[in-house]
Amino acid sequence: MTRLVFRCFYLGVTRYKNILQLQEKLVKWHQSQPEVSTLLLLQHKPVYTIGLRSKLYNETDKDKLELLGADFVKTNRGGLITFHGPGQLVVYPIFSLATANMGVRNYVNSLEEVVISLCKRYDLNGSRSPHTGVWIGNNKICAMGISCQRSVTSHGLALNCNTDMGWFNKIVPCGIHGKGVTSITECTGTEVTVEDVLSQFIQDFSDIFNCETQTLEVLDENLDNSVLAKLITEKDSEGLIKNLVS
């Protein structure tokens, strides 16, 4: 694999739709700049998202979930319904698999390995199953759903740190019956926040992907023009910012 250099940004707690639009624009830009690699780390305001098999959910389902105080968003990622919210570390790697000389299956396996490595830091035995993601016993601690367009990745993973697990009671997470969900906090009995695991995740990501990671930069969650300018190279900033905010 080519040794990549990832720019790392933490965006705080943001609305899912805003980040979805940002990812779409950044993917197009990365397709023309395959040497650039970006790691977006954040938390989402409460939202239920569904993947490509969205026909399984109708307007009644959408209305019921929105009444709980969460958004409901259809996406182009793989996987079925899941929940994102505060207390959950969401990571969106955006980079060229072709530049990294990496296939999709190897990419997903590597993401799972990063989370398994992170779980070991908390004496948790994370494991794989026939279903994508990372599990602690019979309970999923990290959901994954990716997209790859013209070799550039988007979407990614959601690791439950100290998430309010009650949000998952209203759905069948990832469409998997007979399984549960859990969090680092629930498994360890100790409060573990997203901020606690940020640097640990980046270190494990760097080790597993054999890449370099730049110093984590904290950006304003409102995604104004000054923030967007930092997500792209200076020489391309003028034109792309106009597209990102349109």
Tell me: is residue 78 an annotated ligand-binding position. Answer: yes
Tell me: is residue 156 an annotated ligand-binding position. Answer: yes
* Measured distance CA(179)–CA(133) in Å, rounded: 13
Pair of tokens at residue 2: 């080519």
Tell me: is residue 52 an annotated ligand-binding position. Answer: no
* Measured distance CA(228)–CA(28) in Å, rounded: 14
* Percent helix / strand / coil, the chain, rounded to 5: 40, 25, 35
- Which contiguous run of DSSP H or E holds residue 88? strand 88-94
DSSP 8-state code for residue 80 = S
174 is catalytic: yes
Tell me: is residue 175 an annotated ligand-binding position. Answer: no
Tell me: is residue 157 an annotated ligand-binding position. Answer: yes
Among 147, 134, 163, smallest CA distance to 74 is for 147
Tell me: is residue 145 an annotated ligand-binding position. Answer: yes
Tell me: is residue 103 an annotated ligand-binding position. Answer: no
Tell me: is residue 184 an annotated ligand-binding position. Answer: no
DSSP 170-220: GS-GGG-TT-EE--HHHHHSS---HHHHHHHHHHHHHHHHT-EEPPPEE--
Tell me: is residue 51 an annotated ligand-binding position. Answer: no
H helices of the chain, where? 16-32, 59-66, 97-100, 104-120, 184-188, 194-209, 225-230, 237-244
Tell me: is residue 95 an annotated ligand-binding position. Answer: no
Tell me: is residue 39 an annotated ligand-binding position. Answer: no
Q: Which of 8, 161, 174, 187 is catalytic?
A: 174
Asked if 111 and 97 count as a contact pair (C-beta separation under 8 A), the reply is no
**Whats the size of the chain, residue-wise?**
246
Positions marked catalytic: 174
Feature table: binding site for substrate: 77-84, 143-145, 156-158
Feature table: binding site: 77-84, 143-145, 156-158
